[in-house]
């Protein structure tokens, strides 16, 4: 029996090295598997980053070329505006010089007329005080001879003829004064109209220069990726590609599993995004319906059809995005839309008379105009018209009438298509535009 136990113990001792070696090999294999999984994950992450960088580089290059072309085109437009402005100012100078010359002519005629008037008055006083000396009978009686009589009669006729010519010239000069005054008024009207055109042209130059600055800023931002960063990405890609080739056989199964997990995650993410989008659209629809009900039931008194100061539609087209919460078409965020979008094309008009407060350009609203309509039913009311094309037809401080064109529908600023973004402010706070207009 003791021999049997000794044999068993000997067998265990002989097998012990084999068992130990097997444990070591299994432990090493587990580490390799973990390392392969980690390397595969890192490779996938870096490869995704490289793909994103390569795509970004191509997109940035295209954007850079497009922006540079826009900058050149915009600069040409500014140069044209400056040239037109120079011509307008030259024409205004000519008109002002003409007005000055006409006023000087009026002053010359006034002095001449006053001098003639004084001369005629003196002659009239002489004739009145010495009427007996100029009486024809007296002239005949006092003439010493027939020749003397003829001489005196000739002198009287010359005096009468000269005065008649003076009177005629006097009337002609007075008529010329009136005509010149009328011409001065016409030239003043033309000069005032031209001044308004110059003000609008200067404002458009400033607005387009603002747009140019924004475009240049975008170019500078989009070329921030340096050649050194690009070279680094390419070097990293080359190293990872080589490593991937070396372990491709070992990690094939793991790649399949990761791909399946990725597809499952993307599917789950897509389903989640779809659910959130559906919920957001439902909320936006409910908000739009509530706003529409509010606009029908709570229409302010001052904007009814019977009110002479009622607002009108600022543009033709359809309501493409109402006032309320929505998914932003530019960045996909869910937030408040503070205006009403009218999709279409063509002119944009003032919804109500007022004073232009803003007429310019910024990166968000593009070319836009703000009109102050003053106090309506105890509230300070303003309207904003955004995303118009270059070439605004009004300038700050200008008075506009209801229905007057202020610009043209476009897609400048943060816009995904041609439309008018229309906002209404009451005491500085945005309200639903449907409280003031009908679509």
DSSP for 36-67 reads: HHHHHHHHHHHHHHHHHHHHHHHHHHHHHHHH
Instruction: Kindly report whether the global pTM for this prediction surpasses the value 0.75.
Output: no
Measured in degrees and rounded to the nearest 5, phi and psi for residue 427 equal 55, 40
Structure-derived torsion over alpha carbons of residues 145, 146, 152, 156, reported in degrees to the nearest 10: 150
Distances (CA, A) of 56 to 16, 68, 70: 60, 18, 20
Residue ranges covered by each domain of the chain: 23-247, 284-435
What the block records as the tokens of 242 is 């080589």
Pairing mode, strands 318-321 and 340-343: antiparallel
User: Class assignment of domain 284-435?
Assistant: mainly beta
Confirm if 424 and 314 have CB atoms less than 8 A apart.
Answer: no
The pLDDT assigned to 50 comes to 72
The pLDDT assigned to 245 comes to 66
The pLDDT assigned to 168 comes to 82
Angle 27-31-32 (CA atoms, 0-180°, nearest 5)? 115
Note down pLDDT in tens along the chain; length 439 residues.
444 333 433 433 333 343 334 343 434 556 656 776 777 787 788 778 777 767 777 777 787 787 778 777 777 877 887 787 788 788 888 888 888 888 888 888 889 888 878 877 776 666 555 544 445 455 555 555 555 545 544 544 555 555 667 778 878 877 888 888 888 888 888 888 888 888 898 898 888 888 888 877 777 776 665 566 667 767 776 776 676 566 666 556 665 776 787 788 888 888 887 887 787 677 666 654 544 443 333 333 332 333 334 899 999 999 999 999 999 888 888 999 999 999 999 999 999 999 999 999 999 999 999 999 999 999 999 999 999 999 999 999 999 999 999 999 999 999 999 999 999 999 999 999 999 998 8
């Amino acid at each position: 029996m003791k021999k049997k136990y000794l044999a068993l113990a000997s067998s265990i001792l002989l097998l012990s090295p084999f068992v130990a070696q097997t444990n070591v090999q299994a432990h090493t294999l587990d580490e390799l598997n973990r390392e392969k999984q980690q390397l595969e994950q890192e490779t996938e992450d870096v490869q995704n980053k490289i793909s994103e960088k390569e795509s970004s580089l191509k997109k940035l290059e295209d954007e850079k070329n497009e922006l540079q072309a826009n900058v050149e085109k915009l600069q040409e437009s500014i140069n044209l505006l400056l040239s037109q402005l120079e011509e307008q100012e030259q024409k205004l100078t000519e008109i002002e010089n003409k007005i000055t010359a006409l006023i000087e002519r009026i002053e010359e005629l006034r002095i001449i007329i006053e001098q003639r008037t004084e001369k005629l008055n003196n002659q009239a006083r002489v004739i009145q005080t010495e009427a007996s000396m100029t009486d024809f009978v007296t002239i005949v009686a006092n003439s010493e001879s027939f020749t003397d009589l003829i001489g005196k009669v000739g002198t009287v006729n010359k005096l009468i003829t000269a005065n008649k010519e003076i009177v005629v010239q006097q009337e002609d000069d007075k008529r010329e004064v009136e005509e010149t005054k009328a011409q001065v008024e016409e030239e003043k009207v033309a000069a005032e109209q031209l001044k308004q055109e110059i003000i609008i042209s200067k404002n458009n130059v400033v607005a387009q220069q603002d747009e140019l600055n924004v475009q240049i800023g975008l170019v500078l931002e989009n070329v921030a990726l340096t050649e050194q960063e690009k070279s680094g990405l390419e070097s990293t890609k080359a190293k990872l590609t080589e490593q991937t080739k070396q372990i491709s056989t070992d990690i094939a199964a793991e790649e399949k599993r990761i791909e399946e997990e990725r597809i499952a995650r993307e599917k789950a993410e897509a389903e989640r995004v779809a659910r959130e989008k559906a919920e957001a659209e439902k909320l936006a629809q409910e908000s739009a319906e509530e706003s529409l009900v509010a606009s029908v039931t709570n229409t302010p008194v001052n904007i009814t059809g019977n009110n002479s100061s009622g607002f009108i539609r600022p543009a033709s087209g359809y309501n493409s995005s109402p006032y309320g919460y929505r998914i932003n078409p530019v960045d996909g965020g869910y937030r408040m839309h503070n205006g009403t979008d009218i999709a279409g094309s063509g002119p944009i008009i003032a919804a109500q008379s007022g004073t232009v407060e803003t007429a310019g350009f910024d990166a968000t609203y593009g070319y836009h105009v703000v009109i102050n309509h003053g106090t309506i039913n105890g509230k300070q009311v303003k309207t904003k018209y955004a995303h118009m094309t270059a070439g605004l037809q009004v300038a700050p401080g200008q008075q506009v009438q209801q229905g007057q064109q202020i610009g043209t529908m476009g897609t400048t600023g943060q816009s995904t298509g041609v439309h008018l973004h229309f906002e209404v402010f009451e005491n500085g706070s945005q309200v639903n535009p449907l409280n003031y207009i009908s679509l």
